[in-house]
């Protein structure tokens, strides 16, 4: 079968672009000489898997509820449809098939993946416009076999009313968050992986005054709020020669020259925090971003770690942070797969500490009324 597919691929290379299925079937019959109709269909399926999209994983991606796919070698494929990772019945025919798919996906997003560089990450755009965050590690670095991780990135365009209708927050908290945006308070949305940080951030950006200009900076385009004046800037990785990288920090610096009313960083996760805090402390009110943290108490320490990457010491970070960020909004993903607003807090003191002013379980605390004014 492998030899047959290789011969058909060589024949297809000499064909005009996009040969029709009938022509492909004819080439298969010519190369195989004796083959059943079922055999022809099987070869065509394997050709499709080897040349288009996410190959065999397309069957899983066809489910709109799928958010993550993890391939741990040819015999272990896991999928998350909102209730955690579950083992799929899908199997690859061999380790070589997994490696071919990983190499093709890496090439499609301009990344190198081979024995000299056995891991890579990137973003893949599918034909339907869906974005996939892609990561792969080749064997034997990955002991189980070539590993592929895919995350489905849906552009975030929900409004606060949409989220309230889904039960992500109640009407009163929606009004509080609208007030945070209207008063141009700088805020960060905090949560774990897949907790809905970007979705809530995008919903809050829809509340920004229509006369304001939003510059949104991300690794991959996800923030698409219903707002008439959003400028999306995205990063770029290095090319095959190791040059040409455009980082989040580069884009934050460029955004300062773009007459922004609001500077938004899709995910604060590196040295760019130094430039962002500097911007928020020099007249750019109302900025926002997301931060990966498991609880509100971790926020100051998380900022410390990121600032260290940019060469800022602890004392400098706390001095900047106290004046830059006003509100912390915590979202949480629960065991049943739902994502809900969990806490609202503020940053205060020196050194800065995070204090909860509203909790979904205990209700309002000291300082909550100030957010309503």
Q: Which CATH number do you get for residue 300?
A: 3.40.50.300
Q: What is the DSSP string of 135-187?
A: EEE-TTTSTTS-EEEEEEE--B---HHHHHHHTSS-HHHHHHHHHHHHTT--E
C-alpha 290: how far from chain center: 12
284 C-beta neighbours (distance < 10 Å), count: 20
112 and 218 fall within a common domain: no
Of 100, 118, 153, which marks where a domain is finished?
A: 153
107 and 45 fall within a common domain: no
183 and 265 fall within a common domain: yes
Query: Please, which residues bridge with residue 189 across strands?
Result: 290, 329
- Residue ranges with strand state E in 208-296: 214-218, 230-234, 262-268, 288-292
358 and 236 fall within a common domain: yes
141 and 281 fall within a common domain: no
170 and 273 fall within a common domain: yes
> In sequence order, which residues have a C-beta less than 8 Å from that of residue 326 and are 6 or more positions away?
180, 185, 186, 187, 346, 347
Of 153, 170, 198, which marks where a domain is finished?
A: 153
User: Residue 257: is its pLDDT beyond 70?
Assistant: yes
Task: Kindly report the average pLDDT of the chain as a whole number.
Answer: 87
Of 191, 247, 184, residue with least CA distance to 217: 247
Of 92, 90, 110, residue with least CA distance to 101: 92
65 and 24 fall within a common domain: no
115 and 80 fall within a common domain: yes
2 and 113 fall within a common domain: no
Is the four-CA dihedral 38, 44, 47, 49 of positive or negative sign? negative
Q: How far apart are CA 144 and CA 138, in angstroms?
A: 10
129 and 166 fall within a common domain: no
205 and 277 fall within a common domain: yes
The model's pLDDT over 132-169, given as tens digits with 9 standing for 90+, comes to 889 999 999 999 999 999 988 776 678 999 999 999 99
Residue 66's CATH number: 3.30.450.370
39: three-class secondary structure by DSSP: helix
Neighbour-count burial for 26-58, b at 16+ CB within 10 Å, e otherwise: ebbeebbeebeeeebeebbebbebbeebbbbbe
40 and 62 fall within a common domain: no
Which of residues 19 and 266 earns the better pLDDT score? 266
Q: How far apart are CA 139 and CA 221, in angstroms?
A: 31
Predicted TM-score (pTM) above 0.85: no
pLDDT of residue 39: 76
Domain that holds residue 305: 160-372
E strand or H helix that includes residue 47: helix 37-51
Of 103, 124, 153, which marks where a domain is finished?
A: 153
Could you give the number of structural domains in the chain?
3
The model's pLDDT over 194-213, given as tens digits with 9 standing for 90+, comes to 888 999 999 999 999 999 99
**95 touches 146 (CB < 8 A):** yes
* Residue 87 burial (C-beta neighbours within 10 Å; 0-12, 13-18, 19+): exposed
């Amino acid at each position: 079968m492998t030899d047959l597919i290789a011969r058909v691929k060589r024949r297809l290379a000499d064909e005009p672009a996009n040969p029709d299925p009938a022509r492909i079937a004819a080439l298969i019959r010519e190369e195989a000489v004796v083959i059943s109709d079922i055999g022809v269909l099987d070869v065509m399926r394997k050709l499709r898997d080897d040349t288009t999209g996410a190959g065999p994983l397309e069957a899983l991606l066809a489910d709109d509820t799928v958010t993550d796919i993890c391939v741990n070698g040819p015999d272990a494929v896991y999928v998350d449809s909102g209730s955690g990772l579950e083992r799929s019945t899908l199997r690859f025919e061999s380790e070589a098939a997994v490696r071919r798919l990983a190499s093709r996906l890496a090439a499609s997003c301009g990344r190198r993946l081979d024995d000299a560089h056995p891991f890579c990450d990137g973003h893949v755009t599918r034909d339907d416009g869906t974005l996939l965050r892609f990561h792969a590690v080749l064997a034997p670095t990955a002991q189980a076999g070539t590993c592929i991780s895919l995350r489905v990135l849906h552009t975030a365009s929900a409004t606060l009313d949409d989220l309230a209708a889904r039960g992500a927050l109640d009407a009163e908290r929606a009004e509080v968050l609208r007030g945070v945006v209207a008063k141009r308070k700088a805020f960060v949305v905090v949560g774990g992986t897949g907790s809905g940080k970007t979705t809530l951030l995008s919903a809050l950006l829809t509340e920004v005054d229509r006369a304001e200009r939003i510059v949104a900076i991300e690794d991959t385009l996800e923030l698409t709020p219903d707002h008439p004046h959003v400028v999306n800037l995205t990063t770029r990785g290095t090319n095959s020669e190791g040059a040409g990288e455009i980082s989040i920090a580069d884009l934050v610096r460029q955004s300062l020259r773009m007459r922004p009313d609001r500077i938004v960083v899709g995910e604060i996760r590196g040295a760019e925090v130094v430039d962002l805090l500097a911007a928020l402390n020099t007249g750019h009110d109302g900025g926002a971003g997301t931060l990966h943290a498991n609880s509100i108490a971790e926020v100051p320490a998380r900022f410390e770690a990121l600032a260290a990457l940019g060469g800022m010491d602890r004392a400098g970070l706390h001095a900047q942070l106290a004046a830059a960020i006003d509100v912390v909004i915590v979202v949480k993903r629960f065991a049943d797969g739902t994502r809900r607003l969990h806490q609202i807090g503020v940053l205060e003191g020196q050194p800065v500490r995070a204090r909860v002013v509203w909790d979904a379980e205990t209700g309002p605390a000291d300082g909550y009324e100030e957010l309503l004014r």
